[in-house]
Amino acid sequence: MRYFYPALAFLLFFGCKSDRVVLLDGKTGATNYIEKYKIDFLSPIQAYRRQGFRYKVPEGMTESPADAYRYKYDNLLLDRGADYFSSTIVIAIRHYDLNSYEKLNDFSIMDQSNLKKSVTPYYENEWKPTALEDKNIEHESFQFYYTMQKMKVYQRSVYIKSENTVHIISLSTLYKDFLNRPESEGFWNSIRID
């Protein structure tokens, strides 16, 4: 019994280490983080670094977990105080786990072809999120509009690869000028892959 507690502490300390932790962060909506621990045996303090897909919710917008669940997204950003149908901008985020043989370009083309089964998108000029290119984040992007219930919907879709996950981000609005608002551009600038 004398050696039981020290042995238990030894096993817990060295036997319960994990390199991957999945979290849901309420402020960023990111669902996949990797935590790596660096243990310095000379210091009792453990330092850690968080990695993964992150972004900031634009000012004037809020997360809507109930609507995200209802419409089968992983996260949904809406104007503060608005619902899914009254928000001027809707940012929908989904996550998809890629197989080892799948490529981002092939996946994005397949996803766009699935979209074509329900609406007819009209692709506009080739839009590139410069913030993602400057950060060397692997991505595919599309800008298009389609008609739904006699209304034009303008959309930018971005597919971002992070390890074996594709993060699909769709920014939609009824007003084409809203695609270039500072809040919209700020959202693309806030995306991080560590």
Asked if residues 154 and 179 have their Cβ atoms less than 8 Å apart, the reply is yes
Residues in the chain, total? 194
Average pLDDT over residues 84-111: 92
| pLDDT given for residue 43 in this prediction | 45
Whether the full predicted model's pTM is greater than 0.85, yes or no, is no
Burial 101-111 (b: 16+ CB within 10 A, else e): eeeeeebbeeb
pLDDT at 47 over 90: no
pLDDT recorded at residue 8: 44
Domain made up of 58-193: CATH architecture: 3-Layer(aba) Sandwich (3.40)
Tell me what the mean pLDDT of segment 48-73 comes to: 85
Find out whether 160 and 132 touch, Cβ atoms under 8 Å: yes
The per-residue pLDDT for range 66-82, each reduced to its tens digit, is 999 999 999 999 999 99
